[in-house]
Amino acid sequence: MAWKIFLFVLMTLVCIAGITFPIVEEPSKWYHFPLIPGLEENAKIIFFHVPTSWITVIAFLMSTLYSVRYLRKKDLDDDSKAYTAAQLGMIFCILATVTGAVWAKFAWGSFWSWDPRQTSIFALLLIYGALFALRSAVDGEEKRATLSSVYSIIAFVTVPFFIFIMPRIMKGLHPGSADDTNAGPIVDFKMNSNMQVVFYLSLIAFTILYYWMWNVGYRSHIVKEKLQKQIS
Amino acid sequence: MKSALALLKKDFSSEIRTRYAINSLGMFIVVTVSVILFSIGNEKINEYLTGGLFWVVVFFTSMSGLSRAFVSEEERGTALTLQLLAKPESIYSGKFLFNVALVFSMNLIIAVLFSLLFEMFLFKNLLLFVFAFIVGNVGVAASSTIIAAIIAKAGSKGTLYPVLAFPILLPLILTLIELTKQAMDGNTVSDSSVELAVLFCYDVIMISAAYLLFDFIWKD
């Protein structure tokens, strides 16, 4: 219970700080964010957009890990865990895509411009979609679990190409692209310390939120499967 | 390895007997290229577009032809016999080699057709394109073989194949399109070494992942 209250406090703090803290040219108070030329107020997306895409990848990683565990131990509970992680990953993937596209309209001038990172989030959406299409196509839960585990592992080995290789060798608009002059770690680029604190708090809050959702999700999925077996 | 070659030989002789792949894929290529020609009409298209269209045709031809490797075994009911006779690794190698041969012959036909029909399909550095072509074809064959195995076990759902294969092939195809552009611009092989390395990594990763995972798909 305590950590749920902690999550609530953390999430409230992040929302309030991320939305209301002013961006000023010369930060003097503790709650001032620095002005980043070319981004201005748009810079605040980093508190919400980056955590959602982070969760997208974490969820995919967890789905793959539980798929590997399923293939080793053939325990259907692991499949439920992998499936729930994939479901949540899909939700966060859509959130990241939509927030990114809306933001891009105001910052870059168009909703979609096939920047390498947009391509990779699109590919992740396709992978999640394909995974659910495959699951719905197969009857028999063990076969379904095996095939979707294998597919999610194969899909996962291509993810490094999308997330780490393509955005860095191709020209793009996101920080960290090949033609980015202030290349370097994406996180600390031009953020001052209080911005970083809010950003990391937001990452932590979103991760806890995801973990909670996943925990509730997979337990209800297991119960649902068991009930279905009892009925039939 | 011996049983893999035997499987390859068996696939070849059954292919020569029915000529399914040769006939239907050959016609598929002709149809796709003519649809592209009709849609272009008298329009003058630039060279990068022909490079992109080339890989589009390659993708869809692979999607229509390569799933047969395992689907045909399931259709004829020979999958169980195969399971008894050979180890999963050698089955994957045999099917993979057959698909490599199929992809190479298919893509050679497409490349020849493209260079005959599109005058803009020209390379300043042909060597780079040939490198990309060879490494890319192996990658296409590797990932479509393992996806074909999944499809065959999922009840041979034909529409599912491109859906499952596209996200897996996407990094490969994007890099290939990039390399084709660079070959058209006349980059040397050392200029584009990063992209070639990405392609090569993709091949190695895909083949090893497929070898490791094929066991789980194949055993019911």
One digit per residue, the tens of pLDDT, for chain A of length 232 reads 788 888 888 888 888 887 877 777 777 777 777 766 666 677 777 888 888 988 998 999 999 999 999 999 888 889 999 999 999 999 999 999 998 888 888 877 788 888 877 888 888 899 999 999 999 888 888 888 999 999 999 998 888 887 777 776 666 666 655 555 444 334 445 567 777 888 888 889 999 999 999 999 999 999 998 898 888 7
Q: A with B: how many residue pairs have Cβ under 8 Å apart?
A: 83
- By C-alpha distance, the chain A residue nearest B175 is A166
Contact between chains at A158 and B170 (C-beta distance less than 8 A): yes
Interface predicted TM-score (ipTM) of this complex, two decimals: 0.88
The total number of structural domains that make up chain B: 1
Residue B116 phi, psi dihedral angles, 5° rounding: -75, -40
Contact between chains at B195 and A169 (C-beta distance less than 8 A): yes
Contact between chains at A157 and B206 (C-beta distance less than 8 A): yes
Cα separation, A157 vs B142, in Å, equals: 13
- Please name the member of B150, B178, B205 whose beta carbon is closest to the beta carbon of A157: B205
- By C-alpha distance, the chain B residue nearest A141 is B154
Cα separation, B175 vs B199, in Å, equals: 7
Greatest distance between any 2 Cα atoms in chain A? 68
Contact between chains at A158 and B171 (C-beta distance less than 8 A): yes
- Please name the member of A147, A157, A161 whose beta carbon is closest to the beta carbon of B209: A157
Contact between chains at B170 and A155 (C-beta distance less than 8 A): no
Helix residue ranges per DSSP H, chain B: 2-18, 20-40, 47-65, 68-76, 79-85, 88-117, 126-153, 160-185, 193-218
* DSSP label at residue A179: T
Asked if A134 has any chain B CB less than 8 Å from its own CB, the reply is: yes
The confidence score (pLDDT) of residue A173 equals 64
Report chain B residues touching chain A, CB-CB < 8 A.
143, 146-147, 150, 153-155, 157, 160, 163-164, 166-168, 170-171, 174-175, 178, 194-195, 198, 202, 205-206, 209-210, 213, 216-217, 220
User: Which residues of chain B lie closer than 8 angstroms to A130, CB-CB?
Assistant: 163-164, 166-167
User: Which residues of chain B lie closer than 8 angstroms to A93, CB-CB?
Assistant: none
Residue numbers of the domain that contains B214? 2-218
Residue A109 phi, psi dihedral angles, 5° rounding: 95, -10
Cα separation, B82 vs B92, in Å, equals: 11
Contact between chains at B209 and A165 (C-beta distance less than 8 A): no
Amino acid identity for residue A184 in this structure: G
The confidence score (pLDDT) of residue B97 equals 92
User: Which residues of chain B lie closer than 8 angstroms to A138, CB-CB?
Assistant: 153-155
**Per-residue pLDDT for chain B (220 aa), expressed as one digit of tens each?**
788 888 888 888 888 888 877 888 889 999 999 999 898 888 778 888 888 899 999 999 988 888 888 888 888 888 888 888 888 888 889 999 999 999 999 999 999 998 888 888 888 888 888 989 999 999 999 999 999 988 888 876 678 888 899 999 988 998 898 889 888 888 887 878 888 888 999 999 999 999 989 888 887 6
Asked if A123 has any chain B CB less than 8 Å from its own CB, the reply is: yes
- By C-alpha distance, the chain B residue nearest A135 is B154
The CA R_g of chain A, rounded to the nearest whole Å, is 20
The confidence score (pLDDT) of residue B87 equals 84
* DSSP label at residue A40: G
Which helix (H) or strand (E) covers residue A95, if one does?
helix A76-107
